[in-house]
Amino acid sequence: MSTPVRQATLTVGDLEFELRRSSRRRTLEITVDRDGDLVISGPPDCPTESMEEFVREKRFWIYTKLAEKEALRHPTPEKSFVNGEGFPYLGRRYRLLLVDKQDAALKLEHGRFKLLRAEADRGRDHFIDWYRVAGLGWLKRRVPPFAKRIGVEVRGLRVRDLGYRWGSCGADGSVNFHWASLMFPPSIVEYVIVHELVHLVEKHHTPEFWQRVERAMPDFERRKKWLAERGGREVGW
């Protein structure tokens, strides 16, 4: 069995990796350990510059994995659908008020979410439905200007549950957004928008992909970092 011939560290931006070189490896690989430590492995003769470029191409995947592990380490308490509980929408937190009568199960009105008391046991379902409807209306206003800036045509727009992904795009030109992303501040949702719109022309996270993102949103790095560090914690349910 061969052993790694050299160990060191590699720093790219705000990411630090344990660098493992081994004669058994022919390609580069990045892993995120359970505790969030980053490891990059490669063959003994792989130039450091090639490793740095590989990291830059994989940055979004790395940030996503780190966010997932952060959310698992620091789980957010379950929401209770009771008077006074706070629920975010586009970066602002609104308190919940249970009411006995209104014309919809859930409404955002006069700075408060109002939920029918009789529907409190189905509160999560009602909130998800509300985020989908309200979020779609908001996205329909925000997506077209970015699509025009990037030079793409959006043929469908949906808000749905995407698991760990905040957004996705289809081969048919459709773009999807996780309902939970509508909890974030508008600037962060806009980053998700730009990210997915660029995927309509660049399928992978290549240097050209990130160049296109930067042209459309010069400060995308700050927004992406916020999403990686806080996205999982902000949602929580």
Q: Which of 200, 196, 204, 203 is nearest to 227 (CA)?
A: 196
Token pair in block for residue 94: 């609104």
Among positive and negative, which fits the CA dihedral 205, 67, 69, 126? negative
Please give the mean pLDDT across all residues of the chain.
Answer: 88
Report in angstroms the alpha-carbon separations of 162 from 158, 166, 176, 221.
11, 7, 8, 23
Per-residue pLDDT tens digits for 91-120 = 999 999 999 999 999 999 999 999 999 999
For range 120-147, the mean pLDDT = 97
- In DSSP notation, 69-135 reads HHHHHSPPPPP--STT-EEEETTEEEEEEEES--SSSEEEETTEEEEEGGGGGGHHHHHHHHHHHHH
Whether 158 has a pLDDT exceeding 80, the answer reads: yes
Q: Which domains, and CATH codes, for the chain? A: 6-57 (no CATH), 86-235 (3.30.2010.10)
Residue 131 backbone phi and psi in degrees, to 5: -60, -40
pTM over 0.75: no
Whether 2 has a pLDDT exceeding 50, the answer reads: no
Residues 184 and 202: beta-carbon distance below 8 Å: no
Residue 35 backbone phi and psi in degrees, to 5: -85, 5
* CA dist., res. 93 & res. 134, Å (int): 15
